[in-house]
Amino acid sequence: MRQLTSHCSGQEYKILKINKTITNNKSAFCDPKWGIGVFVCHPTEDKVLIGKRKDNGLFAQPGGWLEYGEDWSECGARELQEETGLNIPHERIKHIKTFNCHDPEKNYHNVAIYLYVKLKECELKDIKTMEPDKCETWDWVDFSFVKENKDKFFFPVRVFFDKEPKINYTDDLVNLIKL
């Protein structure tokens, strides 16, 4: 039996382990998780905030898993607070895109919800690495860095730029906001 790497709950994992219902390199009964990624835009420069993950060395924007009962923007605000120390009201965080992110070779499947927020200058001083065990640091990069290093980004970020290749500036993100 292979090592489970999906996001099953403990109970589902026990069922899988007991029944040995894993076939074709897929885990049974595990629905995709809903992940949130927040494009945090600099107030005066054409840059977005990214961090380098310690678990796999990949770059990603702040984000995490949607919790039961949370609105997407509430999840984005919570993740920003937990990961960067930013205290952004959820009303300022806007939905821009949602994509199905599936990589069967790596047994990875989530629904990625991409959000947008533009910081105010006074908020820049609040950015901290709140989870140093998970993220090395937070840095501002432009989209040319992202595109030139796409293979070094977390899978859902690569999916976003594969599906939205014309994104070159933070204003392009604004044009995607869903009203």
Q: What is the pLDDT along the chain (179 residues), one digit of tens a residue?
A: 333 344 444 444 443 343 333 444 444 447 888 999 999 999 999 999 999 999 999 999 999 999 999 999 999 999 999 999 999 999 999 999 999 999 888 888 999 999 999 999 999 999 999 999 999 999 999 999 999 999 999 999 999 999 999 999 999 999 999 76
pLDDT of residue 138: 97
* pTM listed for this prediction: 0.82
CB 76 within 8 A of CB 92: no
pLDDT of residue 26: 47
User: What phi, psi does 78 have (nearest 5°)?
Assistant: -65, -45
pLDDT of residue 32: 84
pLDDT of residue 178: 76
Half-sphere exposure of 148 (CA within 13 A, CB side): 5
Nearest to 95 by CA among 78, 71, 119, 79: 71
Cα separation, 172 vs 179, in Å, equals: 15
pLDDT of residue 45: 97
User: What phi, psi does 153 have (nearest 5°)?
Assistant: -105, 155
Q: Hey, which residues does 94 pair with through a beta bridge?
A: 116
CATH architecture of structural domain 32-174: Alpha-Beta Complex (3.90)
Beta pairing, strands 94-103 & 108-118: antiparallel
pLDDT of residue 106: 84
Q: How far is CA 175 from CA 33, 66, 74, 133, 160, in A?
A: 27, 24, 21, 35, 15
pLDDT of residue 29: 46
